Each structure stands twice: as C-alpha cells, then as structure tokens.
Amino acid sequence: MSGTSLDGIDAALLDLSTTTPKLLATHYQAYPADLKDALLALHHPAHNELHQAQLLANELARGYATATAALLQSANTSPGQVRAIGCHGQTVRHRPEAGYTIQLGNAALLAELSQISVVNDFRSRDIAAGGQGAPLVPAFHHQVLRHPDIHRVIVNIGGISNLTNLPPGRATTGFDCGPGNLLMDAWIAEHQGQPYDKDGAWAASGKSIPHLLQALLQEPFLHAPPPKSSGRDLFNMHWLKQRLSGNEAPADVQATLLELTSYGISNAIKQFCAGAEEIYLCGGGAHNHVLVQRLNTELPNCRIALTDQLGIGADWLEAIAFAWLAQQTLHGRSANLPAVTGARHPCILGAIYPA
C-alpha cells in the first residue's frame, strides 16, 4: 500500500487461509524525496505528463519489487510460496465524476521482477459501475471487524480521512470525510521542513483561527451526503492558499488545519453514524495525539482506541486490506460495497497479472 500521504510503501505478508487474517511480517520503505516531488507534480496537468507518468509507474514497480523482496527475506519466505501481491498503486488522479481514477504502478513489471502474480487497479471496476471507486476498505472492515452487538466505526486517517460505519443489524456504510493528514503534512513541510507534525506538537503550539476555519468549512464536499470520495485533486496547497490572507502565523494555520480534520471526522460520525459506541483509528493520523484528543472532546460518548485493540495494527490495516481484496479477486468474489461507493451493483475488482 502506498497512500495519499506519499510517504512510502507499506508491505505486509498475510496468511489468509482462515477467517481472521494472520500478519506474518511487515516492511516499510520510504519514498525518496525526488520521487515524492515527481508524484506530487503529476497531480496537476503539466508538459509531457503521459511520458512522466509511465516512467514513474516503472520506478514505483521497481520500488514495490524491492519492498517485496525485503519483506520476504525478513520472513524467510520464497516468492513461490506467495499466491499474489495485492498492489494498490500510487493515486495521482481520482476523478470518479469524470469516470476515471489513476493509480500508478506497472503491474506487469512488478510481476516480472518479483516472479509473483500481481492484482492491481482495484478501483476502476467500481467506477465503471457508477461508483466512487472509494473507499474500498470498508468491505474488509465489514468482514473482519464487525461486532454483532456493538456499534463500531473504523476511521482511517491517512492523507484523506475516511470511515466505515458498522451498526449491528444494519448495512455497512462508509465514505471519505475530508482532509486527513495531507494538508497538515504539506504545510509543515513548507514552513518547518518536516514531513509531518509529530504528535501534533506544532499544531498545539498555535491557535485555531476561527474565520479561516469557517472559510475552509465552506467547501461543499464536507457537507455533501455520501457516497463520496476525494483526494489531492480537491484538497491541496492551492486550495488552502486561496483561503489565506497571507498574514496568518504558520503555527496558527497548522492548528486550524488540525481542527478541519477533526471536524470532518467528528461531524461525519455525528451526522451519519448515530449511536456509535466505539471508534477505532488507523492510519498515520491515529498517532497524532492532539488530533485524537480533539476527537475525544468532540465525541465524548464514544470509546476511541487504535485498531490494534482489535488485533490489526493501525499502521498496517490498509496493506492488510489490499491483500484481502486481492484474494477476493483471485477467488472471483465481489469486493465493493455499493452502499459505500454508490456503484449500481457488486463487482469483482482488480486486474490480474500472472507471474
């Protein structure tokens, strides 16, 4: 898994022979700075972008292959023992309203380099059926994390935040809430030279700016009903800077961006997950202590914890989920939830590149 945050590759080795996934090994591989910059540039139209996209797809495939080799070495496992790689790819455009989404990563090259079959392009089939193509992980949450009697909500705070609503006796729903870490990460990178705001410390040093927060909250996406999904196509530094006067203290902007993320999540739960008892967090933002404190304040009637308490590490849940999604593809099982994505019907997701 390499997500919207553009920090690197999460590789997880899974035994999916039983109902409960067994995590055998993990490996994290950071993106080089020049790769991250090149991927960020592709989010906007530019000269010769088709050629650049294909070159980056090849570079990503080589990176995924290196991560796979390191993962297997750490687990003393050979490629021949692995049924398939579920590779999400790196999103550079997500435009379901225009009928497409692009996750870069040359799956044919990855299959060649790794000598393991590859399943990729999970989102396109759902979009072809009229869906948003995202979020897809709620199907995994539904299968593995649902409780028969307790109303749970799973919140992933990656670059974009999204949730899965698991009410007992009712259908699973889910959607993207709004910005997760991506605006906070971009702002601190520009002003502090840091890749992310560790523990939310820089945000805590500032004060949220009420009029700026209100301006940010006027974004229609935040108030649109689900199904809905988003990404850097909407929420990016250009979007933010259009709403700044230029006189704000940088730490105060960071504090405001944290409030924006907190509002997006907490308001979505209040509005669409009424009666929620337990909230489990995953993704990088789950380690932002200040953000978690804000969520506890906004949702005082809910118990908030990491998905680690459910037996799935917060940092690895999405990588685990895409292994599971790949398994569904190989078995010919549908893996989208139309109630989540808005697709007209269940679909078998993904394309298979045999080793």
Percentage of the chain modeled with pLDDT above 70: 100
The yes-or-no verdict on residue 154 having pLDDT over 90 is yes
Domain spans of the chain, in order of start: 8-132+316-353, 146-310
Q: What is the mean pLDDT of the chain?
A: 97
pLDDT tens digits, 298-341: 999 999 999 999 999 999 999 999 999 999 999 999 999 999 99
- Averaged pLDDT, 169-174: 97
* Residue 230: closest CA among 41, 9, 43: 43
Whether the CB-CB separation of 329 and 96 falls below 8 Å is answered with no
The yes-or-no verdict on residue 22 having pLDDT over 90 is yes
Q: What stretches of 2-111 adopt beta strand conformation (E)? A: 8-15, 22-30, 85-86, 90-95, 100-104
Q: What is the pTM of this model?
A: 0.95
Q: Give the pLDDT of residue 71.
A: 98
Q: Give the pLDDT of residue 276.
A: 98
pLDDT tens digits, 85-125: 999 999 999 999 999 999 999 999 999 999 999 999 999 99
pLDDT tens digits, 38-80: 999 998 888 999 999 999 999 999 999 999 999 999 999 999 9
- Give the pLDDT band of residue 283 (cuts 50, 70, 90): very high
pLDDT tens digits, 202-213: 999 999 999 999
Q: Give the pLDDT of residue 348.
A: 98
Which amino acid is located at 12 in the chain? A
Q: Which helix (H) or strand (E) holds 36?
A: helix 33-41
Tokens of 231: 């990404």
The yes-or-no verdict on residue 5 having pLDDT over 90 is no
Whether the CB-CB separation of 107 and 322 falls below 8 Å is answered with no
Q: Give the pLDDT of residue 98.
A: 97
The yes-or-no verdict on residue 19 having pLDDT over 90 is no
Task: Tell me whether the CATH fold assigned to 8-132+316-353 matches the one assigned to 146-310.
Answer: yes
Q: Which CATH superfamily is domain 8-132+316-353 in?
A: ATPase, nucleotide binding domain (3.30.420.40)
Q: How far apart are CA 321 and CA 315, in angstroms?
A: 12
Q: Give the pLDDT of residue 113.
A: 98
Q: Out of 16-20, 174-178, 239-243, which region has the weakest mean confidence (pLDDT)? A: 16-20
Place of tokens 């692009």: 102
Topology at the third CATH level for domain 146-310: Nucleotidyltransferase; domain 5 (3.30.420)
236 half-sphere exposure, CB direction, 13 A CA radius: 14
Q: How far apart are CA 226 and CA 2, in angstroms?
A: 25
DSSP for 301-318 reads TSEEEEGGGGTS-TTTHH
Tokens of 138: 């709620």
Q: Give the pLDDT of residue 41.
A: 92
